[in-house]
Amino acid sequence: MKKEIPYKIYLEEHEMPKQWYNVRADMKKKPAPILNPQTLKPITLEELSEIFCVELAKQELDDVNPYIDIPEEIRNFYKMYRPSPLVRAYCLEKKLGTPAHIYYKFEGNNTSGSHKLNSAIAQAYYAQKQNLKGVTTETGAGQWGTALSMACSYFDLDCQVYMVKCSYEQKPFRREVMRTYGASVTPSPSMTTDVGKKINAEFPGTNGSLGCAISEAVEAAAAQNGYRYVLGSVMSQVLLHQSVIGLEAKSALDKYGIKADIVIGCAGGGSNLGGLISPFAGEMLRGEADYKLIAVEPISCPSLTRGKYAYDFCDTGKVCPLQKMYTLGSGFMPTSSHAGGLRYHGMSSVVSEIYEQGLMEARSVRQTEVFQAAQEFARVEGILPAPESSHAIKVAIDEAIKCKETGESKNIVFGLTGTGYFDLYAYQKYNDGVMGDFVPTDEEIETSLSLLPNIDI
């Protein structure tokens, strides 16, 4: 007999994954190796360990082991806010009048308000294991900085966050959350690093950029003994940690005998999307099942849909390893968009390779239609979604409406990565009817792509 599906499918604590899933192990054609930014040769474990903690560097380079144990300390922390629910969007289905079944995996149930904590806690754990004093990082919209500050306070590590100046001023409350967890937050560009001083001298009164904040954070880590720089997306280690999202979603579906037809995630650097789709993509790669996987990106920053698959720098400062990825060029400056977490020029090399192999499709959507979907969702499902997450909502609604037209009752699963309480300035713009849409011209993209490093290996 079929079990009735509850509004929220929870797993028991003991059903939580004990291992992360590394989809690279099941890929016949692996993502291209990451390169040392100085030598432009595949980076060695030794070299990578100067940038990341040794254990994280190992995970970064591991494309053979499908399962990697989640240390017990990390599992214990996960238990404070996981397993996260897989919610059946009964009210949204009813509102849309669709025969489709819509499910969302909700990652906003922790103070940082997003999935980023899943990797922050892992990175802080390995840093503490290695007896580091602390870590430095940048934050744009603020979600990653918040997650990392929570993780660092748990493991008693110092946390130094360089926050893009315009966010620092626009989102003072995020800053206070980070400070409450003990992080120091510096508006970037600052006068505390050489690169910050240089940028301030060159561009007086600048609002800062993510690229600049990365460069400051990297410099600060290198200048202090016992510090490492950490990243919240794009890297394969981050995708690995985020696989906890997909593994839990898969177990919850299996528990009720539900077979997903469509799996949708928003794509910034690709970490939540990669984590969500990994177990599904794994089944596709092993020839066990088929799914329609969809990445959703903002039309203002369309790396998958309009970018090029090539080696590029992960940061404007060109200090992080290079990845072969779908990219708009590391100098690409997306016009201001309110989905701060999706304003990244490139895409995780794992997600890029999955896309290149045709296992996943990609769509780009306009910010105004994203906020319309966010509003529609909030009004029936209650949760105030983050603008980033709302990209996935938009496409989930589109797919559900298609089902209404064809009469098909498909199972649609999407990732609801976080809440939008700190994005009310953006909601205000939308509610006031003054939100615009930005679409980069072909010329802008070509100019940026013409500056890609010329690497052929």
Ligand X SMILES: *Cc1c(COP(=O)(O)O)cnc(C)c1O
Give the footprint of ligand X on this chain (CB under 6 A).
114, 116, 143, 233, 266-273, 341-342, 386, 388-389, 417-418
Question: Which segments of 120-172 are extended strands (E)?
Answer: 134-139, 158-164
Task: Give the 3-state secondary structure of residue 161.
Answer: strand
Nearer to ligand X, 245 or 400 (CB): 245
Nearer to ligand X, 196 or 302 (CB): 302
User: Which pair of structure tokens corresponds to residue 73?
Assistant: 């300390």
Least separation in angstroms between CB 148 and ligand X: 12
Nearer to ligand X, 17 or 268 (CB): 268
The residue to which tokens 């690497």 are assigned: 455
Nearer to ligand X, 116 or 241 (CB): 116
DSSP element (H, E) containing 121:
helix 117-129
Strands 101-106 and 86-88: antiparallel
Nearer to ligand X, 96 or 350 (CB): 350
Task: Give the 3-state secondary structure of residue 95.
Answer: helix
CA 250/CA 279 separation, integer angstroms: 7
Spatial CB neighbours of 17, under 8 Å, sequence gap ≥ 6: 70, 243, 244, 247, 248, 251
CA 259/CA 289 separation, integer angstroms: 10
The residues facing 137 across adjacent strands are: 161
Give ∠ CA 5-6-8 in degrees, rounded to 5. Answer: 125
Least separation in angstroms between CB 275 and ligand X: 8
Least separation in angstroms between CB 269 and ligand X: 4
Least separation in angstroms between CB 300 and ligand X: 14
CA 354/CA 264 separation, integer angstroms: 14
Least separation in angstroms between CB 223 and ligand X: 27
Nearer to ligand X, 83 or 418 (CB): 418
Tell me if 377 sits within 8 A of 393, measured CB to CB. Answer: yes
Least separation in angstroms between CB 385 and ligand X: 8
What's the N-to-C CA distance of the chain in angstroms? 56
Least separation in angstroms between CB 393 and ligand X: 11
Nearer to ligand X, 88 or 343 (CB): 343
